[in-house]
Every structure is written in structure tokens, then in C-alpha cells.
Structure 1
């Protein structure tokens, strides 16, 4: 009985230590979500600029995906705006194809349009310690200065290194009744 109690105590201690380590992640703030969104938009603009300037836009897009999406660290649910035949992009290669044209035939290279700005209007943000959901509209400024309105939902999690990364990205063009 004593041995069982000691083993149980050890298990309880291990659980307590594990819980404490899991809670060591600093809670996400709304300011961090906003900053991550802003940096994501600037990254999209930079990919398009790199393409226009004749640079290595695929490397820029790969770096963008690595910086902002949790591929390899967590499952990623990605449903891009202009995807119909292959609606979901669960791998880095599929995300890269969407951003700059690649292995999926329907992809035209969303991020190489190019855009000069991305403006965000959050409807709201829900934060649960090390994860956050935000929903709203983002507006992509085109070469002629007009804006394309897109509806979005982003889910972000704090990774072990402290960075926020996207684990859920769903975007769509607004509904237009006939």
C-alpha cells in the first residue's frame, strides 16, 4: 500500500509538473493577434513585390509560410479564398502552390497578384490563453488602388518557442445575392 501511495504521488507530481509546464506559455494578447495579422499582410505584399521585381518569390512565400503557419508543429486547417477543386491546403506544398502557383492546377498565385497593402477589420477576437480566434474582413489593395474585400477567420496558437502561428485559416469572397 505504501509503495502504491508513493507511485501515485509520483504520478500526481508528474501530472502537476506537466500541467505547470503547459501553463508556462504566456497568454496571447489581442495586441499580439493584431501585430501577427499586420505582419502576415506585409508578408503577402512582400511576396508580390519580390515577384514584380524578378526576385525569388517562391523563397519569399516559403519563408512566409514557415513564419506564419504551424505546418510541422501542429495540424493546420487552411481553406483559401480562390480554391474550388482542391479546397483545403493541409501541407506546405499545397499552401505554397496557392500563394505562388505550383503543384495544383487551379492555383494562379494569389500572393503574386501583387497587392500594395492589406487592411484588417476585425469583427472580434476570442482568446483562450495560448490560442486565439479572430474573424472579420481583410482588404487587399490592387495595382490600380482598388480594394478586394475578403472575409476571414484565423485561428492562432502560441508555439513552444513563444511565437504565434496560424493553425486555422479560412477565407472567402463575400456572398453576392443574384
Structure 2
């Protein structure tokens, strides 16, 4: 049975990974290497396609492949999706999760709630998320990632 502790650890590792990608943005080779390893560690791309719907996408909303996810996180000249600006190289100084609900099963977990991204000025961006985790070789890997900005009735 997947535990709450395992999910919280996976979330903490994901947030720390996003922060580290941004911290490496001025050393492009190191940033690309770490981001590539981050995707291998956090996501289930090696086992299957991932249902990945990141926050800041309009034209290519869904990113089922690792190159498309990498494009979203770090952009760059070789990005797979031209609209990407490199979400993780913002940079962010902190990511924190507030889970609304966790569904824990034998080999799968689902987490839903808000996560907050703190920028260099100390401002927080609130984003709604749903992550699906699958247990692969004893490690939780994300195979469903959906995030979006909260509803804005004035938009």
C-alpha cells in the first residue's frame, strides 16, 4: 500500500527539483542535464506515456512525451513546443503543496490540491493540480499531471 509519507516525499522531491532547475538556469548544460534526470526520477516516461497537462500551455496543451515535458520545464533553442518559455527556469525559490485529498491504493496514488510557487521577489503563484502516481520498481512516478490556474470570474 502506498503511504501518505511516500506521496509527501515525492511532492517534496518534485518541488525541490523545480527549484534546482531554476537555480541552474545560468549554466545551460548543467541545467539540461539535471532537468533530464529530474524527469527520469519524477515521471514515468520510461514505462509509458504520461498524461501531462501543464499550467502555461495554450497551443500544445498536452505533453505525453519526455521531450515535450522537458520543453515545458526548460524551453531552449531545441524545445519541442515553440510556445514554451521554460516554466522551471523562472526561477522559483520554493514550491509548497497543500493537498486537498489523497487517494492511496496498492500501486497507485492520486493527489489533488493547490501548489504554490515562490518567485525571487517572495510572491507566490497559486496553481491547482492533480498528480497521479504509479509505483514502479519501488518508486513513485508521476503518470498523470494536470495543473491550471484557479478560476477567475473576471477573466
Q: Fold conserved (TM > 0.5)?
A: yes
Q: Is the 8 A contact 2:53 2:63 kept in 1?
A: yes
Greater CA deviation, 50-59 or 65-74? Answer: 50-59
Structure with the largest fraction of helix: 1
Whole-angstrom CA distance in 2 between matches of 1:54 and 1:107 = 16
Whole-angstrom CA distance in 2 between matches of 1:117 and 1:153 = 19
**Paired position in structure 2 for 1:50:** 24
**Paired position in structure 1 for 2:91:** 114
**Paired position in structure 1 for 2:12:** 38
**Paired position in structure 2 for 1:22:** none
**Paired position in structure 1 for 2:74:** 100
Q: Is the 8 A contact 1:121 1:137 kept in 2?
A: yes
TM-score (ref. length: structure 2): 0.94
Structure with the largest fraction of strand: 2
**Paired position in structure 1 for 2:120:** 143
**Paired position in structure 2 for 1:4:** none
TM-score (ref. length: structure 1): 0.82
Q: Which 5+ residue runs of structure 1 have no aligned equivalent? A: 1-26
**Paired position in structure 2 for 1:162:** 138
Deviations 1:102-146 (A, max 9, x none): 121100000000000001100010012110000000000001011
State the structure with more CA Rg.
1
- Across the two proteins, how many residue pairs are aligned to each other? 151
**Paired position in structure 1 for 2:33:** 59
Whole-angstrom CA distance in 1 between matches of 2:28 and 2:62 = 29
Greater CA deviation, 113-122 or 51-60? Answer: 51-60
Q: Runs of 4+ in structure 1 displaced over 3 angstroms?
A: 52-55
User: SS of 1:51's equivalent?
Assistant: coil
Greater length-normalized contact order (CA 8 Å, ≥ 6 residues apart): 2
Whole-angstrom CA distance in 1 between matches of 2:111 and 2:81 = 28
Whole-angstrom CA distance in 2 between matches of 1:166 and 1:54 = 25
* C-alpha RMSD of matched pairs (Å): 1.1
For residue 55 of structure 1, report the CA deviation from its aligned partner.
5.5
